[in-house]
A and B are shown apart, each in its own frame.
Chain A
Amino acid sequence: MKKYHKHTPSKERAKVNGSRAAPRILEVRQLSASFYLNRKVIKAVDTVDLYVDEGETVGLAGESGCGKSTLASSVMKLIPYPGRIVSGKILFRGQELLKCSEQDLQDIRGNRLTLIFQDPSSYLNPTVSIGMQICDVIMAHNPVDAREAKRRTVELLGSLGIPEPAHRFHSYPHELSGGMKQRVLIAMAISCDPDLVIADEPTTALDVTIQRQILELIKEKVIGEGSSLLFITHDLSILAEICDRVYTMYAGRVVETAHTVEFFHNPLHPYTRKLLSAIPRYDVKKPLAEIPGSPPSLDDLPPGCSFYPRCDLRSERCLKLRPELRELGMKHWVSCHNV
C-alpha cells in the first residue's frame, strides 16, 4: 500500500522550520562509493561530507569524472551496477536513507527528493507521451485520479512555458526540442512539490541561449517555490549566480566549501583558484589560463593529495599525507596542507 504524505508546501515549511533547530534537509556524512569492474576498484566518491539546509541552494562544482554525478545517484540510492555505496550515511530530514526499505525510498523519490537529469533525450521514455510520464509521477505519490493528474500536468506544463500545454500533453519526446524536453524533466521534478531537488548538470547538454532560459526557469520554479536545491555543474559562473554555498570536488573528494561570496572572493584551495582563474573574462586581456596535466584515474589514487602532480603549492607532506578538511575562516573549509 502506498503511503501518501500529508504535504505542506515547501515555502511554508521553510518559514516554520527556519526558526527552529530542525534536521537539515540533506546531510551526507563520510560517504564513499566505488565501482567494481574487472578487478579494478574505482573510488568515485571518497569520504564526502556535504549538507543542504532548508531553503538553501547549494552548488557542487568539479570537472567531468570527479564524482559529482555518482554522488547525486548515491544520494538517491540509484547507483548503477557495478557501483556500490561502501560506507557513510545519508540523512534526509534526519531519516537515514541507506537504512530505508525500497518501499520507503520509492515514497521519497520523486516526491520529496527529486532529480533533474543532464540529457533529457535519453531520460524520457520514447514510447510514452510526455504528459503521461508526468502524470505517472503525480499519481505515484498523490491520491488523485487520472483526470486530476492530467489537469495538474497541463497546468504544470503551462507554467513552465510550454505553449499549448493541453495539446502538448500528448506529444512524444522525439517531437520536442532539447529545451522543451528539459522543461518536461523539470516539470516532473517539481510536480510533487519536493523538499530537495538535485539538478545534475541540467544545462550542460543544451544550447547557450536555452541554457539561460532553463536556468531562469529553475530559479523561478524550484528556488522560488521554496525547495532546496543541490545544483551540480562544471560551470562556475552559474554557481556564482544562484547558490548560497558552494562545494568543489576533485578526484572523488571535497576540496573546498564556503559561502558563495567568500568562495569567489577568497578561494583558498589551489585547485579552486586555478579553476576560477581559468574562467575567460571579457574585461581583462590575458592568455587563457589552464591547469597543466589531467585528472587522475580514479582506480589508482595516490596515498597523499590527489592534486599533487598539478599543484603549485605542493610539498613533501602532500605526497604522503592526505589533507583533511580544515575550517580556515567563517564556515570556509579547505583540504590542503599548505594554505
Chain B
Amino acid sequence: MSAELIAFIIRRIITATLTVVAVSLLIFLLLQAAPGDPVTTMTAGHKVPQERINMIRETLNLDKPIIVQYWFWLKGIFRGDFGMSFIKDIKVSVLIIERMPVSLQLVLFSGLLTVILSIPAGIISALHEGTMLDSVLITLSVITASSPVFVVGLLLIIIFSLWLGWLPPMGLDGLFDVKRLILPCLALSLTFVGLLFRMLRASMIEELQKDYVVKDRAMGLGKAKITARVFKNSLAPVLTVSGFMIGSYIVFAVLVEYVFGLGGIGSLLVNATLTQDYPIVLGLTVFISIVFVVSNFLVDLLYGVLDPRIRYSSRK
C-alpha cells in the first residue's frame, strides 16, 4: 500500500462524491424544469385530497426558496433518503431494500457470466489470431453486440421456454433460483460479452507484439506464465471500455428485469414510469446514478492497482 496508491484512492473518492452531488443537482433541476409545479408532477394523474397536497408541500419544502429545497434534497440523499412515494405511501429507500436482492443477483451473476464467457474467448482468440476459430468468434461477437438486450431476452424466452420447453419463462423464486436466472443473466451478458471479447482480443494481440514478450521467451519462461503476464498488461483498455459500459449495463439490467418480470429495482422503475409515480422515478434515478458512480470509482481503483504508471499521471 504505497503512498501514491493512497493518494490516488483519496483523489478518486473526492471525485466520486462531487459527481454524486452533480447528479443530485441535475435531477433536481430536471424536476424544476418539468412543466407545472413539482406538486403537480409528483401527483400527476392522481386525484389527491387537499390535506395530502399540503403534506406533500411540506415534505418537499416547497414553501422555502429553491436553494433550501435543494439543500434538503441533497442532505436526504447522503442520509439514504430518496424520497417517498405518495401513491404507495412507502419510502423509496424501503422499496429499494426490499427489491435489492433480486437486482443484485441479476447484476452479479450476469457480470460473472460475462467475465467467464469473454475472457477465455478473448485469450484464445488472441493466441490463435487469424485462424478459423478466431474468425468465428469475432463474427459471433459482432452479432451479439448489436442485438438489443430486450430483443435477445425475448428471443431467448421464445427459444428456450416456448420451443424447447427447457426453462421457465418469467419470475423469480427466492434466492439462487438458477433455473429462472439463467435466461435473464444470459440476455444481459451477451451484449457485453461481444464488446469485451473484442476489446480483450485486440489489446492482447497488440501486447503480444511487445518486446518484453520476446525477452520472456528468450529467458525460457513457460507459455502459461508469459500469457498470464501479457493478459494482466492487456487489461487496461478492457477496463476502460468496461467503465464506459457500466451505465449501459445498469440500464439494460432494468430492461431485462422488465422483460423477465423479475421483481427487482429495475422493474420497479419501469412500473413507476408507467404509473407516473414520480417520487419513485426520481429517487430511483438518483440511487441508480450513485451505483453508477460507485462502480466507476471501483473500476478506476482496479485500474490503479493493475497499472502502477496510472497512479502518477492522474493528477490534474
Question: Could you list which residues of chain A lie within 8 angstroms of chain B, going by C-beta atoms?
Answer: 2, 73, 76, 78, 80, 105-111, 114-115, 117, 119, 122-128, 136-137, 140-141, 172, 174, 185, 188
Contacts and interface: CB of A to CB of B under 8 A. Distances in A.
A127 B306 contact: yes
B212 interface: yes
A127 B232 contact: yes
Interface string B202-236: 00000000111011111111100100010011000
A109 B229 contact: no
Given A78-B218, A107-B220, A119-B211, 18 more contacts: A73-B214, A78-B214, A80-B214, A106-B220, A106-B221, A110-B218, A114-B219, A117-B215, A122-B212, A123-B212, A125-B212, A125-B215, A126-B309, A127-B308, A128-B229, A136-B221, A140-B225, A185-B215
B219 A109 contact: yes
A109 B212 CA distance: 15
A136 B218 contact: no
Nearest to A173: B212
A117 B215 CA distance: 8
A178 B225 CA distance: 26
Given A127-B232, A127-B307, A122 B220 contact: no
Q: Which of A80, A128, A188 has the most CB of B within 10 A?
A: A128
Nearest to B218: A115
Contacts of A141: 220
B214 A123 contact: yes
Given A127-B232, A127-B307, A172-B308, A137 B214 contact: no
Contacts of B233: 125-127
A174 B211 CA distance: 15
Nearest to A172: B308
Contact of A188 (B211, B219, B225): B219
Nearest to B219: A110
Nearest to B312: A174
A111 B210 contact: no
A76 B309 contact: no
Q: Is the interface of A mostly helix, strand, loop or mixed?
A: mixed
A137 B221 contact: yes
Interface in B5-53: none
A136 B219 contact: yes
Nearest to B217: A78
**How many residues of B sit at the interface, in one of the four size bands?**
20 to 34
A109 B217 contact: yes
B227 to A, nearest CB: 13
Nearest to A136: B221
15 contacts: A76-B218, A105-B220, A106-B222, A108-B220, A109-B219, A110-B218, A117-B211, A122-B210, A123-B212, A136-B216, A136-B225, A137-B219, A140-B219, A140-B225, A172-B308
Contact of A111 (B211, B220, B232, B309): B220
B238 to A, nearest CB: 14
A124 B218 contact: no
A108 B232 CA distance: 26
B235 to A, nearest CB: 10
Nearest to A108: B220
Contacts of B210: 122
Q: Which of A2, A122, A125 has the most CB of B within 10 A?
A: A125
B229 to A, nearest CB: 6
A124 B215 contact: yes
A80 B214 CA distance: 9
A199 B241 CA distance: 41
A172 B309 CA distance: 9
Contacts of A126: 212, 233, 309
A174 B210 CA distance: 16
Contacts of A107: 220
Contacts of B307: 127
A255 B303 CA distance: 53
B308 A140 contact: no
Interface string B285-306: 0000000000000000000001
A140 B211 contact: no
Contacts of A119: 211
